[in-house]
């Protein structure tokens, strides 16, 4: 399969990154934000995908509460994400000495209405304490009817629902293109490339262990949809 793919006989359809205009549209239409438990959940998928550069379905599905810690460093709030088992760190002999990817994302004081930490705190506040204690899946199913401050059940979001989150949200916004949850990871890496960030720093954020792997996003940046640099993402990268 590798030889066939390398020969150009097989072409894999690549997820397209969201543009700044696409992201702005999602916020303006209220598809991202705190309008409802469902919207908050979609916002968590969006922000975890972008700022932690998670891969498509599996890393989102495997995400646990214990992997994200709210901390304060030098008087600034931040979220610290530590990967568990992923495609790049499968836990075999080859990866015995590999250090799990860690990403530190600081609060957005320039635009608090789009601050990851703010939405994370809202989400956690309305999750059942039992789910946090048992370190269950991070994405929980919204209750049909909220019970006071309890908006989510202990039941993880279904595979298919989670897998199609971004494609569904973008469809509602009228955004065209091949958009998947993986588009969030592509979007993050693409914007960092366009900001002329060093490849080693991008690899540290994405968790890639090879230059060739991370450079696939560079080609998307050069040939794909027009991407405007997200200065907040770059600012967060510079602090790591």
In contact, 84 and 67? CB cutoff 8 Å: yes
How many domains does the chain contain in total? 1
- Does any domain span residue 44? yes
- Does any domain span residue 4? no
Range scoring the smallest mean pLDDT among 29-33, 151-155, 193-197, 208-212? 208-212
- Does any domain span residue 166? yes
- Does any domain span residue 40? yes
Range of the domain at 122: 14-239
Per residue in 89-126, pLDDT (tens digit) is: 555 555 555 677 888 999 998 888 999 999 999 999 99
CATH code, 29: 1.10.443.10
| Cα three-residue angle 89-93-98, rounded to 5 degrees | 40
pLDDT of 223 over the 50 cut: no
pLDDT for 118? 95
Residue 219: enclosing H or E segment and its boundaries? helix 211-223
- Does any domain span residue 98? yes
pTM of the complete model: 0.79
Per residue in 134-191, pLDDT (tens digit) is: 889 999 999 999 999 999 999 999 999 999 999 999 999 999 989 999 888 888 877 7
Per residue in 46-64, pLDDT (tens digit) is: 999 999 988 767 889 999 9
- Does any domain span residue 3? no
- Does any domain span residue 188? yes
Per residue in 196-207, pLDDT (tens digit) is: 776 666 666 676
- Does any domain span residue 156? yes
Per-residue pLDDT, averaged over 216-225, amounts to: 52
Task: Round to whole Å and give the CA distance between 113 and 196.
Answer: 27
pLDDT of 228 over the 60 cut: no
Q: In this predicted model, which residue has the larger pLDDT, 100 or 25?
A: 25
**141-151: buried (b, 16+ CB within 10 Å) or exposed (e) per residue?**
bbeeeeeeeeb
């Amino acid at each position: 399969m590798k030889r066939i793919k390398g020969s150009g006989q097989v072409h894999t359809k690549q997820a397209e990154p969201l543009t700044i205009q696409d992201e702005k549209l999602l916020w303006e239409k209220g598809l991202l934000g705190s309008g409802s438990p469902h919207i908050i959940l979609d916002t968590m998928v969006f922000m975890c995908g972008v700022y932690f550069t998670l891969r498509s379905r599996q890393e989102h599905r495997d995400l646990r509460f214990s992997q994200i810690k709210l901390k304060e460093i030098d008087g600034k709030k931040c979220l610290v994400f530590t990967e568990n088992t992923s495609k790049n760190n499968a836990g075999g002999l080859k990866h015995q000495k590999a250090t799990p990817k860690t990403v530190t994302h600081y609060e957005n004081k320039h635009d608090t209405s789009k601050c990851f930490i703010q939405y994370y705190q809202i989400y956690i506040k309305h999750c059942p304490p039992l789910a946090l204690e048992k370190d269950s899946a991070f994405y929980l199913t919204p209750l049909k009817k909220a019970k006071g401050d309890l908006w989510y059940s202990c039941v993880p979001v279904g595979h298919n629902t989670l897998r199609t989150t971004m494609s569904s949200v973008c469809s509602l916004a009228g955004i065209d293109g091949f958009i998947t949850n993986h588009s969030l990871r592509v979007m993050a890496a693409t914007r960092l490339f366009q900001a002329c960030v060093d490849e080693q720093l991008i690899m540290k954020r994405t968790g890639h262990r090879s230059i060739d792997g991370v450079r696939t996003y560079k080609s998307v940046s050069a040939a794909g949809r027009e991407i405007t640099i997200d200065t907040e993402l770059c600012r967060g990268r510079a602090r790591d």
